[in-house]
Homo-oligomer: A and B are copies of this chain.
C-alpha cells in the first residue's frame, strides 16, 4: 500500500472534533464529539423543543428522525434509501428484534447459527431468542462457519455474523457467506457495529437480508448512541417484529387498539424515539457522508499501515505481537496487539494523551478513524506506545 502524503488540511472534511489535544485511537469504541455538537443540541433544545413544544414532532421532523438518520446511514452501508432505520433502542434490543423476525422467516428450521467470535451481547441475545422460539443455538467458530452452512444448511433458519472481529479487527467477506446462505435458504443477519463508518459493507450488492449496528464507534454518535436496523427491500413485507410499538404502526396517530405494521422500513420502528441521542448520531454522520465510505476506508487502512510500519521500525518485538492480519485488506478499522498487562498499558497511554482500549486479558486495540486521526498523531502514538510498554515492564 502506498501511503500518500498527509493532506494539507488535517481532516478530509471541514468538520472539527473536540479532541482536547489528545490522540483518539479508539474510534472502534467511542470517537470524540464534533466541536459543533453542543450548538446543535442547543438548537434542538432552545429553538425547537422550548418554542414549538410537542409540535416539534411534526414541524421539526423529530418524528422522521429514525428515517432521516437511517437514510443517511444507508449511504455509508451501500444501501439505497428506505432500508435503514434508527428506532431508538440499544444494539442488544435491536438485535433481539431482528433475530426474532429473522427466525420467523424460517419457522420450519431448528437452528440459529452464530459466530463464536461475536461480541458477547450477540451471543446472549441469540441465546435468548433461541430459548424463546424453541430453536437450537449453534455457536460455530468463524473458521468453521461456512463449512457448517455447507454441511447442515438445511437445518439452519438464521445465520448471524460480523464482518469485523471486535477483538482482532480481522475482516471477513460478507458476500460469499450471504451467497451461501441464499443457496441453502438461510436468512443472513449481520452485526455491523465494528464496521459501519469505516469499512464498505455493500449491503445491497451483497444481498444481505437483515443487519444491525450500533451508532457509536466509527459512526461517532456518542456514548450509547442508538442502534440501526437494515431490512432489505425484498424482505420488508415479510418481516414480523416482536417489538411492535406504536411507531411501527401503519397509522400510529389513529391510536387503534389493533396493530397493523407499517409498510417498508417503518415496520422496524418501535416506541417513541429518544430525540437527543438521535440528534447526536445525526450530527455525527454529516462529515462521514461528505467524505464517503470508500475514501474513509482507504484513509483508515493507510493510517493502520503507517502505524505498523512505524512500529516495525521502532520496536520489531512489539510489532511481532500483532494479533490481527498483517494484510490491510483483511482488517477492519482497528488492529490489536497482544501485550501483557494490557490495561496498565492502556492507562499509561492515556496519561500520555493517547486514547486506546484494552480487552482482557492481553489485547490492546488501536483504531484508525479516518476523520480525526492524522499521520503525525499515528507517529506520536507509536512513540508513546513503546514508552508506555517500557514503563510498565
Contact = CB atoms under 8 A, between A and B. Distances in A.
Interface of A: 18-20, 22, 24, 26, 29-30, 32-33, 37-38, 41-42, 45-46, 49-51, 53-57, 62, 87-93, 96-97, 100, 116, 119-121, 123-125, 127-129, 132-133, 139, 214, 216, 222-227, 242-247, 249, 252-259, 270-280, 350, 355, 357, 359-360
A53 B272 contact: no
Contact of A93 (B132, B243, B249, B279): B243
Contacts of A259: 123-124, 127-128
Given A88-B90, A92-B246, A226 B274 contact: yes
Contacts of A246: 92, 119-121, 124
Contacts of A125: 243-245
A87 B88 contact: no
Given A30-B53, A49-B33, A53-B30, A222 B276 contact: yes
Contacts of A273: 90, 224
B357 A270 contact: no
A49 B223 contact: yes
Given A20-B50, A123-B259, A276-B280, 14 more contacts: A24-B53, A26-B54, A30-B53, A33-B46, A49-B222, A88-B224, A89-B93, A90-B247, A91-B245, A93-B93, A124-B245, A124-B259, A227-B271, A253-B360
Contacts of A226: 274
Contact of A51 (B20, B100, B225): B20
A22 B49 CA distance: 12
Contacts of A257: 116, 120, 123, 139
B92 A271 contact: yes
